[in-house]
Amino acid sequence: MTDSIQAHADEKPAGLWRWVVTTNHKDIGTLYLLFALLMFFIGGTMSMVIRTELFQPGLQFTDPLFFNQMTTMHALVMIFGAVMPAFVGLANWQIPLMIGAPDMAFPRMNNWSFWLLPFAFSMLLSTLFMPGGAPAGGWTMYPPLVLMTGDAFPYLIFSIHLMGLSSLMGAINIIVTILNMRTPDMPLMKMPLFVWTWLVTAFLLIAAMPVLAGVVTMLLTDRYFGSSFFNAAGGGDPVMFQHIFWFFGHPEVYIMILPAFGVVSTIIPTFARKPLFGYASMVYATASIAFLSFIVWAHHMFTVGMPLVAELFFMYSTMLIAIPTGVKIFNWVSTMWRGSMTFETPMLWAISFVVLFTIGGLSGVMLAITPADFQYQDTYFVVAHFHYVLVTGSVFGIFGAVYYWLPKWTGNMYNERLGKIHFWCSVVFSNLLYFPQHFLGLAGMPRRIPDYAIQFTDWNQVSSIGGFGFGLSQLIFVYVVFHAIRAGRKAPARVWDGAVGLEWSVPSPAPYHTFQEPPKLADGQLQSEGV
């Protein structure tokens, strides 16, 4: 009996079909990560088109409609195709390993969560070839503009339904896994912080994604079935769309950053060789950010027309977010304070995250000031702000996580020298790319335009050069991963000598099935201990 269970447990079908029918959290995590990488390059290609066009004033390469399609599709692909699936991939690989679970709580549903994505994005990307072109009204899909999309319109809506369904099922799976699958020795307040941030993120997803599904359904009925949600002629209001959309949209922003907080909170203690400073305050700060994310949405709409009371409320509530975020920044810095620091590639990403995310956070506080936002809104300053938090924040967090756990996944070390080259190229070029956009924005250059006044040329050229450099640098990353799998030297079980956590108690590469019996926790095996 036991033998047959064991044999069953090790069964790993061969060939491509394995990846289609798999229910294994490690397989599905790999699929998510590879899919996210593919989308990162597709979305990245679109941003290259944007930066190429913006290299000079005037229209050189694209017509304005195609340019707008590129900005819209770049955002949708990067948000829903690259950043979110990458974090779900990390969750799939790591959460069961970190909490001592045999797999995710719903392994079949896990497969479906992933396998909806290729269909959703085939649908979305196919709109590029449709009459009228791809959606071009911006990823926020504001009516009435978005209702003028050509034949692509229903495909846009339905692809978002599919992505939403995927995220929702993924989130339910993750939240149930965390609540119900932990090894009995692990109470909530001893969970690794990556698991904590994902618990909160999953809650945000379950609360926010259905609202997005609802509001895009309203767009669909407004366009095809004569409803008047967003049409003032029938008593509705286009601004209502913005309210409902941003009620989803703001939690969505934190959905994309909280798991990165968890990654950084895991990497920094490892390479500072000190326990995380202020574990409990990190948990409470995460929960506070999640709560606040539901009451700040209209800061995306300060100039759209709102009663003064609402402007003030949303300004102050937005500024409150700086407090828990500041707690986190100070905790990371305090963790490094007097630590025995070494600077392997994951640590470089984590430290640059702390610095650069803080820049994005501070420009966020600037944008939160309502009267100041009246000047900044719809300029490149906003573009610079959210790229600092999303690229040098979320994406750098993802890179840090991949370098940190790649040896555990593949069993091989990556090449440290190449990893550092990838890091330094990325960090230099991304700042070259985004920092000048602050100046452009403050000088008055609007976002989402293919052409600009001649005085903006210099900084746009700097930004474009940074963009091309950043794009090319990512090819190094592909080579690093490929090289690690093919030719990396063998990694031990505990890859980093300062690392704590259950994932380091299994061999590298992690066996196909792990923790079929809940593990016992040894002393010092958890992040929270020693605080």
Partner 1 sequence: MSSVNDRYYVPHNSYWPILGSIGLCALFVGFARVLTGENIGSTLMVVGGLIMVLMLVGWFGTVIRESQSGSYNQQVGRSFRWGMCWFIFSEVMFFGAFFAALFYARVLSVPWLGGEGSGFSTHLYVWPDFLAAWPLLQLPDPSQFDVAKAPMAAAGIPALNTLILLSSAATVTWAHWGLKAGRRRQLIVGLALTIALGLLFLGLQAYEYRHAFTDLNLSISSGIYGTTFIMLTGFHGLHVTVGAIMLMVILGRSLAGHFTPLGHFAFEASAWYWHFVDVVWLILFTFVYWL
* Residues 98-117 within binding reach of partner 1 (CB under 8 A): 101-103, 105-109, 111-112, 115-116
- Supply the minimum distance, in Å, between the C-beta of residue 389 and partner 1: 25
Which residue bears the tokens 């609802």? 214
Q: Annotated catalytic, 325? A: yes
Q: Which of 25, 250, 274, 422 is catalytic?
A: 250
Closest distance between partner 1 and the C-beta of residue 367, in Å? Answer: 23
Using alpha carbons, list the distances in angstroms from residue 47 to 39, 74, 378, 450, 528.
Answer: 12, 6, 18, 12, 41
Residue closer to partner 1 (CB basis): 491 or 502: 502
> Is the CB of 185 or the CB of 442 nearer to partner 1?
185
Is 438 assigned a catalytic role?
no
Instruction: Assess contact for 53 and 62: CB atoms under 8 A.
Output: yes
5 binds partner 1 (CB under 8 A): yes
Residues 351-380 that bind partner 1 (CB under 8 A): none
Nearer to partner 1, 490 or 520 (CB): 520
Q: Binding to partner 1 (CB under 8 A): which residues in 17-56?
A: 20-23
139 included as an active-site residue: yes
Q: How far apart are CA 346 and CA 360, in angstroms?
A: 20
The Cα–Cα gap between 55 and 47 comes to 12
Question: For residues 488-517, which are near partner 1 according to CB under 8 A?
Answer: 513, 516-517
Q: How many helices (H) and strands (E) does the chain have?
A: 19, 0
Q: Minimum distance from CB of 408 to partner 1 (Å)?
A: 20
* 250 catalytically annotated: yes
Footprint on residues 196-215 left by partner 1 (CB under 8 A): 206-211, 213-215
Give the active site residue among 252, 311, 344, 373.
252
Tell me the sheet residues that pair with 379: 446
Does 307 participate in binding partner 1 (rule CB under 8 A)?
A: yes
Q: Nearer Cβ to partner 1, position 80 or 429?
A: 80
Distance of CA 186 to the CA centre of its chain: 27
- Active-site residue, selected from the candidate residues 166, 352, 370, 528: 166
Q: Burial code of 315-341, b = ≥16 C-beta within 10 A, e = fewer?
A: bebbbbbeebbebbbebbebbbeebee
254 given a catalytic annotation: yes
Query: Does the annotation count 103 as an active-site position?
Result: yes
For 184-292, where are the alpha helices, taking DSSP H only? 193-224, 238-255, 258-272, 279-292
Residue 446: beta bridge partners? 379
- Could you tell me which residues come within 8 angstroms of residue 190 by beta carbon, excluding any fewer than 6 positions away? 526, 528, 529
Distance of closest approach, residue 191 Cβ to partner 1, in angstroms: 16
Closer residue to partner 1 (CB): 225 or 454: 225
Query: With respect to partner 1, which residue has the nearer C-beta, 120 or 193?
Result: 120
- C-alpha to C-alpha distance for 404 and 303, rounded to whole angstroms: 43
Q: Do residues 26 and 93 touch, judged by C-beta distance below 8 A? A: yes
DSSP 324-366: HHHHHHHHHHHHHTT------HHHHHHHHHHHHHHHHHHHHHH
Q: Which is nearer to partner 1, 90 or 208 (CB)?
A: 208
Residue 44: HSE in the Cβ half-sphere, 13 Å Cα cutoff: 20
Distance CA 391, CA 286 (A): 20
Residue with smaller CB distance to partner 1, 214 or 507 = 214
Size of the residue set binding partner 1 (CB under 8 A): 76
- 265 classed as catalytic: yes
User: What length is written for the chain?
Assistant: 531
Q: How far is the CB of 88 from partner 1 (least distance, A)?
A: 15
166-195 residues in contact with partner 1 (CB under 8 A) are 168, 171-173, 175-176, 179-181
User: What's the N-to-C CA distance of the chain in angstroms?
Assistant: 45
Cα torsion through 349, 355, 361, 366, rounded to 10: -150
Q: Is 47 a catalytic residue?
A: no
The torsion of the CA quartet 442, 78, 259, 330, rounded to 10 degrees, works out to -20
Q: Which is nearer to partner 1, 149 or 358 (CB)?
A: 149
Contact between 445 and 452 (Cβ < 8 Å): yes
**345-368 and 308-320 are packed helices; what angle lies between their axes, rounded to 10 degrees?**
160
Question: Could you say whether residue 119 binds partner 1 (CB under 8 A)?
Answer: yes
Give the shortest CB-181-to-partner 1 separation in angstroms: 7
Does 2 interact with partner 1 (rule: CB under 8 A)? yes
Catalytically annotated residue among 25, 74, 161, 387: 74
User: Catalytic: 252?
Assistant: yes
Which of residues 144, 154, 498, 509 is near partner 1 by CB under 8 A? Answer: 154
Which of the residues 243, 420, 447, 513 is marked catalytic?
447
Query: Whole-number minimum distance, CB 526 to partner 1, in Å?
Result: 21
Minimal distance in Å, beta carbon 163 to partner 1?
12
- Annotated catalytic residue 385: no
Contact 332, 263 (CB under 8 A): no
Active site residue 273: no
State the nearest-atom distance from the C-beta of 167 to partner 1, in Å.
10
Residues 219-238 that bind partner 1 (CB under 8 A): 221, 224-229, 231-237
User: Of residues 32, 93, 115, 139, which has the active-site annotation?
Assistant: 139
Helical pair 396-410 and 258-272, crossing angle rounded to 10 deg:
60
Q: Which of 25, 182, 274, 299 is catalytic?
A: 299
Positions marked active-site: 74, 103, 139, 166-167, 250, 252, 254, 265, 299-300, 325, 328, 447
